[in-house]
Amino acid sequence: MAKIEDCKIIDIQKVSSDRGSLSVIESDLSAPFDIKRVYFTYDIPSGAERGGHAHKNLFQLIISVSGSFNVIIDDGNNRKSVFLNNPSQGLLITPGIWRELDSFSSGSVVLVAASETYDEDDYIRDYNEFKNS
Ligand code: TYD
């Protein structure tokens, strides 16, 4: 049974110098899974909501590389909101967790590292179906 307590904030390795900052997401270092896919969302209009689904088998690490947003995570019994505004921290989302993303700031960029390639069959996009799964 998935639990929101297993969705942890993970520190992202950061190398800073007078030339700026560099952050690294590497399997087994920042991401506790093998990364097979990276995607990012941007140009997100004010008031938009993204997510609204769960995954059956997918692990994800969600990072705010620019700006800020809220991630609501829900295991069917408990729900909480996690505010992401720091590119040095990622939220690990384990399989079987419903997530909703909202309150995007202007210019926010959501970077997601995922454990599998895209597979629509891995999605549960109906909340009642998720609750009953
Ligand atoms: P969606 O799951 O609605 O995005 P979000 O979780 O950010 O709200 O996906 C939007 C569209 O993009 C949908 O048609 C599926 C497609 N998509 C891909 O083709 N490949 C991918 O890796 C992802 C994440 C989505």
CATH number, domain with residue 9 = 2.60.120.10
In a domain, 93, yes or no: yes
Picking from 67, 61, 65, the residue whose alpha carbon sits closest to that of residue 26 is: 61
Q: What is the pLDDT of residue 104?
A: 98
- Domain presence at residue 106: yes
Give the predicted TM-score (pTM) of the model.
0.96
Residue 85 counted as domain residue: yes
Name the residue at shortest CA distance from atom 22 of ligand 1.
118
Give domain status of residue 114, yes or no.
yes
**Is the CB of 39 within 6 Å of ligand 1?**
yes
Distance 16 CA to ligand 1 centre (A): 32
For residue 20, being part of any structural domain is answered with no
Amino acid 84 reads: L
Domain presence at residue 50: yes
Distance of CA 55 to the CA centre of its chain: 12
- Bridge partners (DSSP) of residue 112 are 39, 62
17-40 pLDDT, tens digit each? 999 999 999 998 888 999 999 999
Nearest CA to ligand 1 atom 3: 51
Alpha-carbon distance of 30 to 33, in angstroms, equals 9
Determine the structural domain holding residue 40 and report its residue range: 4-13+25-132
Mean of pLDDT over the chain: 97
pLDDT one-digit tens code per residue, 54-77: 999 999 999 999 999 999 999 999
Least confident of 17-21, 26-30, 100-104, 105-109: 26-30
Q: How much distance in Å is there from the Cα of 75 to the middle of ligand 1?
A: 21
CA of 15 to the centre of ligand 1 (A): 31
Task: Take atom 5 of ligand 1 and give the residue whose Cα is closest.
Answer: 51
Number of domains in the chain: 1
The DSSP line for 69-123 is: EEEEEE-SS-EEEEEE--TTEEEEE-TT-EEEEE-PPTT-EEEEEESS---GGGE
Q: What angle do CA 100, 64, 45 make, to 5 degrees?
A: 60
Does the beta carbon of 40 sit less than 6 angstroms from any atom of ligand 1?
A: no
